[in-house]
Chain A
Amino acid sequence: MEGNEISNLSLLFIIVFVFIPVSLSYWFSLDLSKTIIWSSIRGVAQLFIIGYVLTFLFDLPSWQGIGLWVTVMVIVAAINASRKGRNIPYVFPVVLMVISLTEVFILSLWLLFGYIPFSAEKVIPISGMVIGNSMIAIGLALERLQHQFSEEKGRILAALSLGATPNQASLQIIRKTLKAALIPNIDGLKTIGLVQLPGMMTGLILGGVSPLDAVRYQIVISLSIFVSVAVCAMMVTLLLYRFYFNDKMQLIDLNS
């Protein structure tokens, strides 16, 4: 971004923006001032650290930089997402496996079709978007799965008592879980570009790339994210609902 760099001094002025909600919080006695200041400082510090880490990673040979940082992202995402389903057995290994396999699959497609070169500058940011969105979708799926098994316990028991297998008895729950996990992305895909310009496309345009070229990148990333989110939510749901039943086709109360 030649001639359009943000200087340290002008970056410092952004603090003024933080003081607006802090003042409002103080004025309306919302008791949020500390949280806002702490979150802002933490966010800024994290971004600077990531900036230095990325600079370091981009200087490494591509396979090392990509391998190292994608591994970190996958593990952090798996830890974060699996917290939403902490009552379900084997939730962490399953989520870790699903995110890893999906990332490998998506990355292979990008490289195979030549969408991006195998360089850390390209693979790491785009992988971050894919893994981050998958993490959110898996978290939503796990929350919904637990909620549904708790809310619909009576109907599942009724279905089992009528001779349904666990798979048949859980069909409605699986459908509702996947709808809940995928609807934010489906809605996002439907209105993409109409309500707000996607972050990556905005960044490229600000960086001087022509809108049509930016759109091409955005199509690749948006569809990659959608495929990844859908595959992750489906795999996690289909692999984990089984743990709500034992081998005698009896419902186990994991939520108690």
Chain B
Amino acid sequence: MDKNQSIITCKDVSTDRLKDISFELRRKQITTIVGPSGAGKSSLLFLLNRLEEPTSGEIYYLGRNIKDIPVTQLRCEIGMVFQSAYLFDGTAEENIQYGPKLRGEVEDCDVNRLLDLVDLPQSFKSRYVTSLSGGEQQRVAIARTFANKPSVLLLDEATSALDIKTTEHIEELLIRLRDEKEISVLMVTHNLKQAERMGEQTLYIEEGRLLESGLTSEIFEHPETNHFEQFLKE
């Protein structure tokens, strides 16, 4: 598969919060979305996971309109991690097996490998999720999403509640997952330094409009709009 191949394409997508959003997410690419609170950043991720529906415009996944893909299949292929881990009652293992179990594929789910992937010891398998720290819970949430073997990972401020050290670990993990598993990542962040560190491409959304997008290094250095320039200064 060509690295430049578009894995997700948004064409003039609008909702009551978003207006005419168009962009492309490429394979093995980490894209960050920045913008003020309430700009519609999370709404965009909800649309891609089909947790919400656009009022107009089209979204394509690997060239297919997402409306033509069975919803449960699409949600497995475009995985999502939320700001809170939202783990289910039970052990880390039960959480990680949740997706495969729904499809009757629990035997194919290697929990040890997934825990290893998110840098958690195998002894965590039997740990109740309520006994885990915030960072550990978020790692279990990422492992749980990865158990579905997605090609795209959507992160909705997934590190915003975590300390710097844990955030760095998760950032390293995402880069490793992109390199080893060839996944694409679209992450919403309010942390501009994180966007600069992680994003090859950055989208700037304000009041539901995509005001600026491009290679992170370029648009952070030479913002084209006053809005984004002002946002960077703040």
Contact = CB atoms under 8 A, between A and B. Distances in A.
Given A154-B82, A172-B88, A172-B89, A161 B51 contact: yes
B50 A248 contact: yes
Contact of A163 (B53, B88, B99): B99
B102 A160 contact: no
B144 interface: yes
Contacts of A172: 88-89
B76 A250 contact: no
A188 to B, nearest CB: 27
A157 B82 contact: yes
Interface string B97-137: 01100110000000000000000000000000000000000
Interface stretch (B8-16, B67-75, B164-172, B209-217): B67-75
Contacts of A159: 88, 98
A76 interface: no
B148 interface: yes
Contacts of B80: 161
A100 B84 CA distance: 43
A160 B75 contact: yes
Contacts of A251: 51
Contacts of A161: 49, 51, 75, 79-80, 82, 145
B218 interface: no
A104 interface: no
A248 B79 CA distance: 17
Contacts of B50: 248-250
A164 interface: yes
Contact of A248 (B53, B73, B98, B102): B53
A154 B46 CA distance: 12
Contact of B82 (A158, A163, A164, A165): A158
Contacts of A248: 50, 53, 71
A162 interface: yes
A40 interface: no
B103 A163 contact: yes
A121 B82 CA distance: 60
B135 to A, nearest CB: 18
B89 to A, nearest CB: 7
Given A162-B75, A162-B98, A157 B148 contact: no
A129 to B, nearest CB: 36
Contacts of A250: 50-53
Interface in A203-256: 248-251
Nearest to B76: A163
A248 B72 CA distance: 10
A252 to B, nearest CB: 10
A168 interface: yes
A154 B71 CA distance: 19
A162 B144 contact: yes
B76 A160 contact: no
Given A155-B88, A162-B76, A162-B148, A249 B71 contact: yes
A250 B67 CA distance: 13
A228 B46 CA distance: 41
Interface string A151-193: 0001101111111110010001000000000000000000000
15 contacts: A154-B82, A157-B82, A158-B86, A158-B87, A159-B88, A162-B75, A163-B76, A163-B103, A165-B72, A165-B102, A168-B102, A248-B53, A249-B50, A250-B51, A250-B53
Q: Across the A-B interface, give the 3 residue pairs with the lowest CB-CB distance, nearest first.
A: A158-B86, A161-B80, A154-B86
